[in-house]
Structure 1
Amino acid sequence: MHSAANIAVVERFVAAMNHGAFEEAYALIAVDAEYHNVPYAPVFGRQAVQDTIERAGVNECDWTIHHIAEADGVVLTERTDRIRVGERWIDIPLMGLFKIAGGEIVLWRDYFDPAATHPKTVTTQGEHDATR
C-alpha cells in the first residue's frame, strides 16, 4: 500500500470512532493486532482492543487529527482525543502510531500523559491545584 492508502485507513478508523460506529472501526484492526496505550501494558488481538475500550467506559469519541504523516507503512498522528466516559468529557492530547499492513491496523500505539485522563481539582482564587 502506498502512503495515501495507509493514511486513509487511519482516517477511516478515526471517522468511525467519531461517528459511534465502533464495530466498523474495530473491523479495520487486524485480528492479531497489538494495542498499546503507553505507559500501560499492551494488549493483543482485535477483541482485546474492543474489551479495553469498553472497559474504559468510552461512550462517545470526538477525536481531532492535528497532523498526520506516513512512512514505510507507519502512520503518525498528533491528535486530541476527546472521549465521553459516563457524563464527563475528557480531552487527551497525544501522539499516535498506526502500523498498516494489508489495509488493516496491525499496531496501534498512543503516547500520552495519564494525568490528562483524571479530573482536575476545582480550585478557588489563591489555591493551587496539586495536580499541576
Structure 2
Amino acid sequence: MTTPSELVTEFCSEWRTGTPESIVEYFTDDAVYHNIPMQPLVGKPAILEFLRGFLANFGNIDFDIHHQAEIGDTVMNERVDRFTINDNKIELPVMGSFEVRDGKIAAWRDYFDMAPLTALGGQ
C-alpha cells in the first residue's frame, strides 16, 4: 500500500514527463487545487482544463523537493518548481500542502510569491 508521502512524491515526479490526463488521475473527482495567489479549481474537469493550458504554454515542470513531512493523510513539502516561460527559466520556491483520501489527492494548496512570474510581464 502506498503511503500519502509516497503518493505525493510520485505525483510530483509525474509533472516532469506526464500529460494533463496522467497528472489529473492522481486527484479525487471532487478535488480542490488552489494556487493560493489565484482562485481555487474544484473538481477533476476544472483541474484537467487548467493542466492542459498550463502544460501547453509552459511545458513540463521539475519539482525539486527539499523537505517533505507526512502527518496522517496530510503531506507538506518545501520545493522549488523549475519551468520555462517564453525562454525564461523560472525557479519558483513553493510550499505545498496535500490532503490524501483513499489513495488520491483530495486537496492541494501551493503557497508561493507571484513576483518571479509577474516580473516577466515587464519585459
* TM-score in terms of structure 2 length: 0.85
Unaligned segments of structure 2, at least 5 residues: none
CA distance in 2, matches of 1:109, 1:54: 19
Partner SS state of residue 77, structure 1: strand
CA distance in 2, matches of 1:119, 1:73: 36
Partner SS state of residue 94, structure 1: strand
CA distance in 1, matches of 2:18, 2:66: 20
**Contact kept? 1:59, 1:86, Cα under 8 Å:** no
Residue of structure 1 in register with 2:17 after alignment: 19
Residue of structure 2 in register with 1:97 after alignment: 97
Structure 1 segment 34-113 matched on structure 2, within 5 A: 34-56=32-54, 57-113=57-113
Give the structure with the larger helix fraction: 2
Residue of structure 2 in register with 1:6 after alignment: 4
Residues 81-104 of structure 1, C-alpha deviations (whole Å, 9 max, x = no match): 112234332111010001000000
CA distance in 2, matches of 1:83, 1:115: 15
Structure 1 residues 7 and 72 mapped into 2: Cα distance closer, same or farther (>3 Å)? same
Matched-pair identity in %:
32
**Partner AA of 2:36 in structure 1:** V
CA distance in 2, matches of 1:16, 1:44: 21
Unaligned segments of structure 1, at least 5 residues: 123-132
What RMSD, in angstroms, separates the aligned Cα atoms of the two structures?
2.0
How many correspondences in the alignment? 120
CA distance in 1, matches of 2:41, 2:77: 20
**Contact kept? 1:12, 1:25, Cα under 8 Å:** no
* TM-score in terms of structure 1 length: 0.80
**Contact kept? 1:91, 1:117, Cα under 8 Å:** no
